[in-house]
Structures are given as structure tokens and as C-alpha cells.
Amino acid sequence: MEKERIQEKLTEIYASGTLGIAPEKLKGDVFVPQSKSAAHRALILAFLSGDIELAKIDETHVSDDIKATKRALIRMGEALAEGISGEEPIEIDCKESGSTLRFLIPLAAVLGIPTKFIGSGRLPKRPIKEYEGVFTGSGADMIYLEPGLSLPLLIKGKMQAGEYSLPGNVSSQYISGLLMALSAADGASRLTLTTELESRPYVDMTCEVMRAFGVEVEEDANGYALSGAVKPHREESFEVEADYSQAAFWLVADYLGSEIDLKNLPKSTAQGDRAIVDLLAGLGETGKRNDEAGKTASSSSDREIFEMDARDVPDLVPVFAIAAAATNCVTKIVHAERLRIKESDRIASTSAMLTALGISNTITEDGLLIVGRSAETTGDKCFLGGTVDSCKDHRLVMAAAIAATRAEDMVWIKDPVAVEKSYPAFFEDYMNLGGKIDGINVG
């Protein structure tokens, strides 16, 4: 089936609201899309360097989140070119992108651009309160325009260089957003972390991209210092590497018995989600030990437990849960509290997905306890068929699709169009690997 026919078919399926996948292992090559996390950062630093096109974004399959950030930066650039006068704000629509919102709030403040931020989906309810303390005394104001909601939000005034503080155990997007914004401020700045830093890999990536654009940022025991001596600048283009966050879905499919060759993954990277490689290796070894010891589902209380610490890699939880469910392990996912404020409550929605697929699991205070089903099944099927409510969460859609490769019957996924948020070509790639979607097989 030609590319155009695949896209036409997917458009029809998305419009119907439900996508069906027949059980079928996958085989073939995949070129993984660019890192969404790196692309956000590259676009912002390129914009601050004076040429947003320095960030080389693959426009053929660009995600909704990256579209939102690029559109917003272009609008900010227009406002600066037109000259900022008066109090009339520009309007920035972040769509459903939390990264766009949290990265651009401090940027608008540092650049002194009066800005009204709006959004859709769950975004107006997602928290941004950690910025309230940052704005106090900064020279800029953030004003909530709807009681009880984060959006719409008005930014006024001009944030100055100086000393700021944030907790380290909140979304790293606050820390990354403030660091990138302060790189454009006049003068030296310091960001002190008042608690231990979580999601460190994402902040490390931010600093790496900032340095690639000539920014002097130094980390010490308590936070980060920016000299302010050099503004973002770069002469050559910045290549955005392939995304381990998206590769994780194919790596789990491979773990479950598909044969997928990922062609363009970097071996050396600051991406925290590269941890999926080690997590799958550890999970496999634990399951193997349980098999060798004869510990089966009927003796689940005796099975060795594999623990996943989601503190630094929360985005891996939905797809790693699928891998855990298909292994002779009891898997405990911990430190996943912040998943409750993602595109869905990802603890609850991941649990519901597993339940729909026949996997025993329990929601805990900070995560999930998953009882793997592989040892109590016969043959090659670890999951039941059934209907998964994606809760309009892109990572739930893709995780359920990977589970379908080892299911007993059709897996139906509600609101599959959510994949457009991060990986628009996911189902196109899935079909090209031999996946049977709604009865269509192009393998």
C-alpha cells in the first residue's frame, strides 16, 4: 500500500474514533523520529540566536507539540520585530503541549513581550504554580484569567537577570524553561534548587543544548549559574538526534518477540529515556531467574520483584508496563507521582489499559504493581484482546499498539489520533512493519 493510501486509511480510522489492531508480530527497519525534547530546546536556542532555522527540524512528520513551539516562537519574533509598545498582548496557543507552555512563560517574561497563553485538552488544568515564586520581584507578572485554571494566562512586564530558586522535585520543564530564558537576560543569573533534582537527564539535555549555542552555564552542588557574558549564538545548523522516548515502543516490541532494526539511534546521548535499554535487560534477567526457579503466576508472592524507578524517566512508564506485563515478574513501578498530571492521569490510565488487556495490577501510592502474565499463558499470547481507552494520551495509544503484537485477539484503541502529539508517523511505521490495522496489512 502506497504512502498516500496508508495516510488516507489512517485519516478515515482517526475520524471514526477507534482503531483496531490484529495480533501480529512486527518485522523490519524503522528510522526513529527526532527527539521531541531536544527539538523544543533547539528551537528556543536557535530563536534566541536570531535564526530559528538553525534548528534542523524534519518537517515531514513534525509532531503537534513541536508545531506549537515553532509557531509560538515565530509569533514572538514578529512581536519583537514590530516593536513592543503598550499593553496589548500577543496570543500564544500551546495546544496540548506542556513543554511549550512551561518553556515559553519565562521566555516571554525575559523578552518583555506581553503574552496571553491559551491551550486545549488537559493543559489549562495542568499546574504552573511553581513559576509564581519565580515571578515575585522579578520585574514581570503572571496573571491567571480564569479562576481555578492555569490558562488562559497573561504575562506582563520584563523579568530581569538575578537570583531565582525552584524546587528540584517538580517538573524539570520549570528548571529548563527558566535556564533557557535567563540565557537571554542582560547580566548574570543564578538558579538555586531548594530540593534534590529529579528528572536530571532532561536538565542535563537543556544545558547540553545551551552550551551548543555558546551559552555559559555551570552546575554546582545547589543549582546553576549563567555568566550572562555571552548570549545564545551559533553559525552552523543544529542537528536534532533520534528520540529514545519514541524508540522505546519499538524496543519493547522487539523485547516481546518482534524483529525491528532501529537505524538511527545515537549510542551516546544525554537523553534519559535511553534507560529503556537497561530496564529491559534487567527485566529480562529477573524473569529468567523466576523461570529457572520454577516460580510461576500461581506463586506470584514468591516471584522475584523487578523495581523500576520512574523518577528520571516518567515517560517510559506506559510502554515499560507492557514489557513488564509480558514477563514472569512482579514489577513495582515507583516514584511516578508526577504522572498524574500528564496528558492523562498516567498512573490511572496505564492501570486501566493493563486491566483491559487482562493484566493484574494495583495502583500504589507512587506508582503501580504489575503481575506479569506470561507464565500463566500457553503459546505466544500474553495479553487478552479488548478495548483500551487511551484517554487521548499519545503514549497510551502507542503502548496499547505494542501490546497487540502479543495479544490473543483484536486490540481496539479509542482516540488513536492522539499519536499526532508526538509521533505522527507511528501507525504508518507500524503498518510498514507488517502490522494489521483495522484489517489492513501492508507488510
The CATH number of 36-239 is: 3.65.10.10
pTM (two decimals): 0.91
Q: Which helix (H) or strand (E) holds 309?
A: strand 305-309
pLDDT digits (tens, 9 = 90+) for 372-426: 986 455 457 899 999 999 999 999 999 999 999 999 999 999 999 999 999 999 9
Determine the pLDDT at residue 443: 44
Q: Is 58 a catalytic residue?
A: no
Give the C-alpha separation, 168 to 338, whole Å: 13
Determine the pLDDT at residue 180: 98
Residues in the chain, total? 443
- Among 64, 65, 204, 315, the active-site one is 315
- Is there a shared CATH topology between the 3-33+242-441 domain and the 36-239 domain? yes
pLDDT digits (tens, 9 = 90+) for 35-70: 999 999 999 999 999 999 999 999 888 999 999 999
Interval 277-298 mean pLDDT = 76
Determine the pLDDT at residue 300: 56
Poorest-confidence range of 286-290, 358-362, 416-420? 286-290
Spell 129-166 as b/e; 16+ CB within 10 A means b: ebbeebbeebebebeeeeeeebbbbbbbebbbbeebeb
User: Residue 202 above 90 pLDDT?
Assistant: yes
Domain borders along the chain are 3-33+242-441, 36-239
Interval 210-239 mean pLDDT = 95
Interval 265-274 mean pLDDT = 92
CATH of the structural domain 3-33+242-441, one choice from 3.40.50.2300, 3.65.10.10, 3.40.5.10, 3.30.460.80: 3.65.10.10
